[in-house]
Amino acid sequence: MVRTVQLFEDPNVSIDQLSEFYKVEGTPHSYLMFVTTIDGIAVPLESGQRGGSEIALRHLKDNPLAAGGLTDNRALQYGWATADAVLGGAGILRDNPSATWYPRDRDLQDLLRARERMPVRAVVTGKGEVDLKDPVFNPKEGEWQPVIFTTRNGEQKLKDQAKRLNTKGYQPLKATKTYAMEGTSVDLAKAVGILKKDYETKLLDIQGGPILAGEIVKAMLVDELRLTISPQILGDLNLEGKRRPGLVTGVHFGTEDSPLAELEAMGVSGSHIFLRYVMNYRN
């Protein structure tokens, strides 16, 4: 049964409305926040396009059908303001190096600052392929705790980068806590476990792209899917004929073990639809 049906009349949704719509009962709780087109495309896969912004239609300033993209942005920032930790993939930083998962709207900044604990900003990079000069790894004092989850090889690559930057008078990794794991990829269950145990994470916001989304759903680490359906149709191929990814990429489920999802809440902002699904893993 759908718990909430909400009409967001103003794209600049109030904190009270967001708090009611995204109310979480019981912790720890992790959610995956995503936006796709009507036909399920999550990334345009075109040069110069970041992905989520164009999918949500936030780049269209004067089209009334794009107004719900502002609501999507408010919901995104609300998650950043209320979650104990945000976990994102390195691909987001490559597409948008300025990403910090820190709210831009003043009222949501105030909401974050009013909290008694410092939030965590964690990045998953198995190969250590991130730029340590990116803002997410260099917060001002007290803003957030940067964390990197990587492999042993990735850790060495990060250390090599740090040494190069040190010769230029830059001190990377000073504020960042790095966790290196054995193997060729990051064990996401261990990473989430560390966030819960070492950083007392009760509410985890997952901001990865389709590859990280696929891995984390496959690992059954997502309690809830917060999905925005944007009113556009892109088609499954980019200009070069490459397949555009959907919500999850790089994993397989069969009809006998595919995760099911129970609709918890539904919201509407103009032509955008906001859905909250509780994940149900069958194995």
- Which pLDDT belongs to residue 89? 94
User: Could you report the per-residue pLDDT of 58-113, keeping only the tens digit for each?
Assistant: 989 889 999 999 999 999 999 999 999 999 999 999 888 999 999 999 999 999 99
For the chain, how big is the Rg over CA atoms in Å? 19
Q: What mean pLDDT value characterizes the chain?
A: 94
- With vertex at residue 39, the alpha carbon angle to CA 34 and CA 44, rounded to the nearest 5 degrees, is 65
Q: What beta strand segments (E) does the chain contain?
A: 4-7, 29-37, 85-89, 120-124, 145-151, 177-181, 203-206, 224-230, 260-269, 272-280
- Which pLDDT belongs to residue 118? 94
227 pLDDT above the threshold of 80: yes
- Which pLDDT belongs to residue 95? 86
- Which pLDDT belongs to residue 251? 94
Query: Residue 147: CA atoms inside 13 Å, Cβ hemisphere, count?
Result: 22
- DSSP letters, 195-227, are HHHHS--SEEEE---HHHHHHHHHTT--SEEEE
36 closest CA partner among 55, 13, 8: 55
- Which pLDDT belongs to residue 157? 97
Rounded to the nearest 5°, which phi and psi values hold at 204? -115, 125
- Which pLDDT belongs to residue 3? 82
181 pLDDT above the threshold of 90: yes
- Which pLDDT belongs to residue 202? 98
Which three-class secondary structure state does DSSP give residue 283?
Answer: coil
Confidence of residue 276 (pLDDT cuts 50, 70, 90): very high
* Segment 138-165 mean pLDDT: 95
Which residue type sits at 29?
H
* Segment 240-247 mean pLDDT: 95
* Segment 155-165 mean pLDDT: 94
For residue 101 the two structure tokens come to: 């998962």
Confidence of residue 130 (pLDDT cuts 50, 70, 90): very high
166 pLDDT above the threshold of 90: no
How does strand 29-37 pair with strand 85-89?
unpaired
Give the dihedral sign, CA 91/210/145/71: positive
85 closest CA partner among 119, 125, 124: 119
* Segment 8-23 mean pLDDT: 96
Look at the block and give the residue holding tokens 């990794």.
Answer: 173
Which three-class secondary structure state does DSSP give residue 154?
Answer: helix
8 pLDDT above the threshold of 80: yes
The CA distance from 85 to 101, in Å, is 10
- Which pLDDT belongs to residue 169? 76
Which three-class secondary structure state does DSSP give residue 14?
Answer: coil
50 pLDDT above the threshold of 80: no
141 pLDDT above the threshold of 90: no
- Which pLDDT belongs to residue 47? 85
250 pLDDT above the threshold of 90: yes
- Which pLDDT belongs to residue 2? 79
- Which pLDDT belongs to residue 52? 87
For residue 16 the two structure tokens come to: 């009270």
- DSSP letters, 83-116, are -SEEEEEHHHHHH-TT------SHHHHHHHHTSS
* Segment 13-20 mean pLDDT: 97
The CA distance from 7 to 72, in Å, is 13
The CA distance from 35 to 43, in Å, is 9
Give the dihedral sign, CA 106/107/113/117: negative
